[in-house]
Structure 1
Amino acid sequence: MVLDLVFIGLAIAVFPLSVTAFVLVLSADRGILKGLVFILAWLACFVAVLAVVLLTTGGKPPAPRSPPSTASSAVKLAIGVGLVGYGWYRHRSRHGNHERSRHRHNSSGGGLMARLDRLSLWGTAGMAPLLQPWGLVAAGAATVVGADLSHSSSYLALFGYCLLATSSLLAMEVYTTFAPDSARVRLGKLRTWIETHQEQALVAVALVAGLFLVSRSISQLTS
């Protein structure tokens, strides 16, 4: 379980669309406060998903090869296949998407920042769940089915998973809080790089995460 959560948490942390959106939030008016609200809503969503799973299982992992255990692995397999398919689709249509994305950025970038400046704190909180990569979040939830809350190591694993999945946002928030001028320059460069390489990054994250989930779930189903 721990290896799966580490890998899924890393994939969520570097998911390009979430990172880009958070950079834009930090660049908006009252960006530090909005960033904090975004992170709190992001974490609250993670905790809610984990709580639902753990309440369903009672904090006890299902027996190997039992219907719940098989269903958990089957869900991860389906998500993995979906991510591989999504990555392959984005790879095949990358050129057209890049041209459309560049056109949208050039024509509406200023309007987007204006809307973010006017966005309320409640609106910022509502953005966080919408921008989470829900395929990966679902894969994490399916993995947490195997958590055994009778051992403290499971609590540490769950805490580490939430922290790891939020680590990129936390790092940017702390950096902007304590070094705003330097952060503005560096995060601007990061945003430019991600927007320039967004399709490649999405394809890479989707394919690598998908192949990992497929291999792990097949191993669990056949062992």
Structure 2
Amino acid sequence: MGHAVGDVLGLAAGVAVSPLPIVAIILILATPRGRLNGSLFALGWLLGLAVLGAIMLAVGGPSGASTHKHPATWVGALKLALGVLLVFFGARMWRRRPKDPSQAQLPKWMAAIDHFTPLKILGLGLVLSAANAKNAPLTIAAGASISSAGIPVPQQIGTLAIFVVIASVGVLAPLAVFLVMGDRAKSVLTNWRDWATRHNVAVMAVLFFVLGLKLLGDGISVVAS
């Protein structure tokens, strides 16, 4: 199990560093029902990662993700494809990043976040975790790595749980600060929000590129062996 956890730690860290979802939960915490809505967003985030990862574990089982405790060729091909996708997105985002970080703009839907219903907040957490252009490929890759590690199913589930927890640190940290500090958390969270807003595109571009190269390397290693 240890080697499986080691394989997904970098991927989990890549998911955790997600500026836009961090900005989203900080804005949600500033709403009148911040405690409830923030908890629902975090729950949606956790569920999105867990469900997507579990689907990959289920796919990897009957599809033979591991042969003699070695990843199957299709796992390497999947990582290659995901790596190419991430590198492409990274290069595209880097070209489109604002030259002046202070001019960075948030998506228009964030302006209406005060009016989101609890169900919509829960759905937003699901979408930003499981349907995000960065997080979805990384979670799929993590699920493929776990299912191809040649470990028993209970250990696979435990490894996925560790991945989900680490991948959620970025979203859970603002919620924890808010729950512990209450109104005193406002200035801290505002600083986090402003930094994430200014550097969202640049951070995402670098992460796309670096993690894409990692998946390319992992994929080549599996296919070539």
How far off its partner does 1:87 sit? 1.0
Instruction: Compare 24-33 and 151-160 and name the one that shifted more.
Output: 151-160
Q: 1:214 aligns with which of 209, 213, 216?
A: 216
1:106-117 residue pairs with structure 2 within 5 A? 112-113=110-111, 115-117=112-114
Q: Which aligned pairs between 1:1-223 and structure 2 lie closer than 5 A?
A: 1-58=4-61, 61-63=65-67, 69-95=72-98, 101-102=104-105, 112-113=110-111, 115-132=112-129, 133-148=135-150, 150=152, 153-223=155-225
Contact 1:25 1:34 in 2 (8 A): yes
Q: Report the residue type matching 2:32 in the other structure.
A: D
**By how many angstroms is 1:174 displaced?**
1.4
CA contact (8 A) 1:29 1:116 kept: no
Structure 1 residues 40 and 149 mapped into 2: Cα distance closer, same or farther (>3 Å)? farther
Shift of 1:188: 0.6
Report SS of the residue matched to 2:67. Answer: coil
What is residue 132 of structure 2 aligned with on the other side? none
Change (3 A) 1:147 1:121: farther
Residues in 2 aligned to 1:65 and 1:51: alpha-carbon distance in whole angstroms: 20
Task: Tell me: CA distance 1:199–1:61, structure 2 relative to 1, closer, same or farther (3 Å).
Answer: closer
TM-score where L is the length of structure 2: 0.83
Deviation at 1:54, TM superposition (A): 2.8
Aligned equivalents of 1:55, 1:155: Cα separation in 2: 11
Q: TM-score, normalised on structure 1?
A: 0.84
Residue pair 2:82, 2:212 contacting (<8 A) in 1 also: yes
**8 Å CA contact 1:84, 1:211 repeated in 2:** yes
> Secondary structure of 2:66's partner?
coil
| 2:48–2:127 Cα contact (<8 Å) kept | no
Cα deviation for residue 151 of structure 1 reads 6.8
Ranges in structure 1 where 5+ consecutive residues have no aligned partner: none
For the residue of structure 2 that corresponds to 1:130, the secondary structure is: helix
Amino acid at match of 1:201: V
Identity between Structure 1 and Structure 2 (%): 26
Structure 2 stretches of 5 or more lacking a match?
130-134
Higher deviation after alignment, 42-51 or 141-150: 141-150
Q: Deviations over 1:46-72 (max 9, x none)?
A: 222233233334487520698x82111
How large is the RMSD of aligned CA atoms in angstroms? 2.7
Distance 1:201 1:99, change over 3 A: same
Please give the alpha-carbon distance, in whole angstroms, between the structure 2 residues aligned to 1:50 and 1:196: 30
